[in-house]
Structures are given as structure tokens and as C-alpha cells.
């Protein structure tokens, strides 16, 4: 599936981020450019097989989720509301004045309000039915972040939820682009959110062998593409973009941070959790993104890789990128070295960071990379320090359990 390509693409007029590097786009950009890991011991995970994570520091929904009743929402929804508020403000839009039936909301998450589910199930087991909150279902149903955001913004156009595991946020951005290209809306508020740093999720991922167990050095645990990587670090957060047709954005003199010029969505159709060794899904997603962008592989200057820090995923992704781009050698980074893996939010957060990369012409480094993997093809991996680079076209790759692959293509705003 791909969108019809145009030279102008779609304008990214607003960005909002809530991540382990901090609340707000500026704090997150500064954090990923500094290249310091954010993982730390997590008291809520004490006694479990893995007891560290990447949490959003100092998040206070009472002040960061304006105009709502944050106690009614799961932490996932609180992150989505805070990120969306920043994105809409950044875009210079006023929800009280926009044409509400022409505004879409598309949000992705892997697990929605799983924290609420775990908490309420524990109360039912420990105390009985009267302890269960009547707000349980409105808090944990996966679509409620999108629904609550539509209520908060007064958006009455298409309101949709995507669930493609760790590609969910990127899938939401791609679906929003499709809605705009089809004329189904004029403004799309799109992104992803997840709050899966919970005892059950952490234990389940640990039992799969997916998490790093580097308890002696949590901040250095997430090591994308490094030979000594041993798994990802569970994280939380949200990323939201405001998308508009470029002509509409220019008509209202809106700031254009970057342009979304293409996307591709495909599947491995191979295995529930393991990547296809041949990378058929990701290869097809990249090819579709390039086709819809009207570009060739040689035109790609930079890639924000999925780069989870798991042995199998990174090796497979490196091999696919090496085959796809051959001598073109775009620069590559993975911001999960700093932020950990925010699950269904990751694709949206990394889309936002890719947009900022082309805006600032500056590539953030891959944190904690010290030892090239002798069993992986060499990539032009940006490490240690941010790299100033002329970037005319950049890709953001996202992969998810189930074999989901989504690639987004960005060009500078001007």
C-alpha cells in the first residue's frame, strides 16, 4: 500500500513528544543528540527477571494534560494527550476555531491501557468485585487514547486506532497520510503512545529473552547494532505529528518542520515474533516508500533504523539495509540507544525525530555503540556525537511482532 507521490508531499506542521529523555520536543531532541542512555533501576519492577527500564522523568498529568481529568485515563492516554497538546500548539492551530469534521485523529499503540488492566485485575483478585473501578474499560480499551484525544480536541473527522505492535505509531502516521491524500480530512493529528513498563509486560518480555539483562549498567544496556547487544530496554512515551496538505499549510503561513513525501506498509508473512531473515516485509515497505516518494535508493541520505538492540533484529535489519542500498551508504542511526523501546509509540517518536533530523540537518548518534558486529554488514552508523549532514531525503523504519513493517519518507520543509 502506498500513497500517490507528489513533489510537495504533506506538511509536518506540529510535533509533540513525551519520552524518557523528557517531556517536550526540545528535551527529547537534546537528549538523543547528547547520546546518553536513559535506562535506570525501576522500583515497580523490583524482584522481576529484569528490573530496569526507561521511564518518562517527572511526568505530572495534572499539569501536562490540560483541560482533561487525567485520573480517568491510563498513563498511555495521558502521554498521548500531552504530546498532542504540544503538537497542535506547535502547529499554531486552535481547536476552538478549526473545522472539526475535517480533522482526523489516528493513534497507534501496542497494548493500550495494559497498566490499568493489570492494576484492576489485581484488585479483583486481592479484594473482590467492588474494588474494580467502573472506569476500567474506558481506560484500558486500546482505542481510547484516540477517542479521548478526539474529545479533548473536538475533532469529529475519522478517529482511528492502529495496532501493528511496535510499528503502530508509524502505521498511524501512514494511515493519516492516506486519509489526507484521499481527501477524507484537511488536518490529521497522528502518532503513537504506549505505557507498557508494567510487571506483567516486563516479565513476559524477559521470559521471551527479548530484554537486556545488563543490570550492572542499565544506561548502557540498549546497544543497537553493537556486537555485545543482549536485548532491548522496555520504555514508555508518545509521539504525535500534525499533518496537513502542503498547500493548506502554506495558505495559513504555518511552520513546516518537514514534509512527509512517501510511505510503505508491508508484512513478512513469516513468523509471529522473529524477523524474516530475507527481510521481505521491510524491503517491500522501503521500496513502496521510495516509489510513493518518486525517489530511488541512491537518493536516500539517512535512515532512522528500527534498531532494537536485540541480536536477531539488528542483524537482519543491517543485512537488509546493506542489500537495499549497496554502494549508496546512507547514514544510519537508532535512537533506541537513548530512549529504549517505547513499543507502539516508537514508530511515531522516530518519525518525529527523523523530521527533526532533516529540519536541523543533524543526525543524532546511536548510543552505546562500541563494538562492530563481525557477523553483520558494515553500515555508516552515526556514533558518539551528532553528525552535521546535508539530508535531502530520509527514511524511518519500524517493525512489529506479526511481521509488520512500515517505512516513512521525509524531505526538508523548504
**Is 306 an active-site residue?**
yes
Which residue bears the cell 498532542? 84
Separation between Cα atoms, residue 25 and residue 304, nearest integer Å:
17
Q: Which of 73, 161, 302, 341 is catalytic?
A: 341
Identify the H or E element spanning 241.
strand 236-245
Beta bridge partners of 407: 264, 397
Which residue bears the cell 546493506? 322
**Is 33 an active-site residue?**
no
Burial of 99 (0-12, 13-18, 19+ CB in 10 A): exposed
Separation between Cα atoms, residue 124 and residue 107, nearest integer Å:
30
Q: Which of 166, 302, 360, 404 is catalytic?
A: 166
**Is 185 an active-site residue?**
no
Q: Say if residues 242 and 88 touch (Cβ distance below 8 Å).
A: yes
Those residues whose C-beta lies under 8 Å from the C-beta of residue 159, and which sit 6 or more positions away, are: 104, 105, 106, 146, 147, 150
Residue 293: name the closest of 335, 258, 328, 248 by CA. 258
Residue 79: name the closest of 171, 234, 192 by CA. 192
Burial of 352 (0-12, 13-18, 19+ CB in 10 A): buried
Helix axes 114-126, 199-208, angle to 10 degrees: 110
Q: Say if residues 316 and 292 touch (Cβ distance below 8 Å).
A: no
Q: Which of 73, 161, 302, 306 is catalytic?
A: 306
And the C-alpha cell for 334?
Answer: 537508532
Separation between Cα atoms, residue 319 and residue 141, nearest integer Å:
37
And the C-alpha cell for 119?
Answer: 492494576
And the C-alpha cell for 399?
Answer: 517493525
Active site residues: 166, 306, 341
Amino acid at each position: 500500500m502506498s500513497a500517490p507521490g507528489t513533489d510537495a508531499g504533506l506538511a509536518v506542521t506540529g510535533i509533540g513528544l513525551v519520552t524518557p529523555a523528557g517531556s517536550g520536543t526540545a528535551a527529547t531532541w537534546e537528549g538523543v543528540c547528547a547520546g546518553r542512555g536513559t535506562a535506570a533501576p525501576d522500583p515497580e519492577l523490583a524482584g522481576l527477571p529484569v528490573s530496569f527500564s526507561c521511564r518518562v522523568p517527572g511526568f505530572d498529568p495534572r499539569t501536562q494534560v490540560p483541560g482533561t481529568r487525567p485520573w480517568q485515563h491510563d498513563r498511555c492516554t495521558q502521554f498521548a494527550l500531552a504530546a498532542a497538546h504540544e503538537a497542535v500548539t506547535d502547529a499554531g492551530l486552535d481547536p476552538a476555531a478549526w473545522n472539526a469534521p475535517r480533522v482526523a485523529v489516528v493513534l497507534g499503540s501496542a497494548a493500550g491501557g495494559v497498566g490499568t488492566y493489570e492494576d484492576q485485575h489485581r484488585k479483583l483478585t486481592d479484594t473482590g468485585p467492588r474494588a474494580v473501578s467502573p472506569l476500567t474499560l474506558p481506560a484500558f480499551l486500546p482505542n481510547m487514547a484516540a477517542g479521548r484525544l478526539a474529545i479533548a480536541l473536538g475533532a469529529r473527522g475519522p478517529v482511528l486506532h492502529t495496532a501493528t505492535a511496535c510499528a503502530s505509531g508509524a502505521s498511524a502516521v501512514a494511515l493519516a497520510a492516506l486519509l489526507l491524500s484521499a481527501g477524507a480530512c484537511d488536518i490529521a493529528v497522528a502518532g503513537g503512545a504506549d505505557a507498557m513498563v508494567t510487571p506483567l509486560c516486563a516479565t513476559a518480555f524477559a521470559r521471551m529473552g527479548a530484554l537486556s539483562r545488563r543490570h550492572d549498567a542499565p544506561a548502557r544496556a540498549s546497544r543497537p547494532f553493537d556486537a555485545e547487544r543482549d536485548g532491548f530496554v522496555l520504555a514508555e512515551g508518545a509521539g504525535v505529528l500534525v499533518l496537513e496538505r502542503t498547500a493548506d499549510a502554506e495558505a495559513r503561513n504555518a511552520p513546516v518542520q518537514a514534509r512527509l513525501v512517501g510511505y510503505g506498509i508491508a508484512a513478512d508473512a513469516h513468523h509471529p515474533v522473529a524477523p524474516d531473515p530475507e527481510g521481505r516485509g521491510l524491503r517491500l515497505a522501503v521500496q513502496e516508500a521510495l516509489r510513493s516518494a518518486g525517489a530511488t535508493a541512491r537518493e536516500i541520505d539517512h535512515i532512522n533504523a528500527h534498531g532494537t538492540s536485540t541480536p536477531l533484529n539488528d542483524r537482519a535489519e543491517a543485512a537488509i539495509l546493506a542489500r537495499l542500498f549497496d554502494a549508496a551508504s546512507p547514514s544510519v542511526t537508532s535512537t533506541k540507544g537513548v530512549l529504549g523501546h517505547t513499543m507502539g509509540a516508537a514508530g511515531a517518536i522516530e518519525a518525529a525525530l527523523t523530521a527533526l533530523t532533516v529540519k536541523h540537518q543533524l543526525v543524532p548518534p546511536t548510543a552505546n555503540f562500541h563494538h562492530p558486529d563481525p557477523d553483520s554488514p558494515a553500515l555508516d552508523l552515526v556514533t558518539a556525537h551528532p553528525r552535521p549532514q546535508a539530508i535531502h531525503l530520509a527514511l524511518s523504519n519500524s517493525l512489529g511482532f506479526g511481521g509488520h513493517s512500515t517505512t516513512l519518507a521525509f524531505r526538508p520543509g523548504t
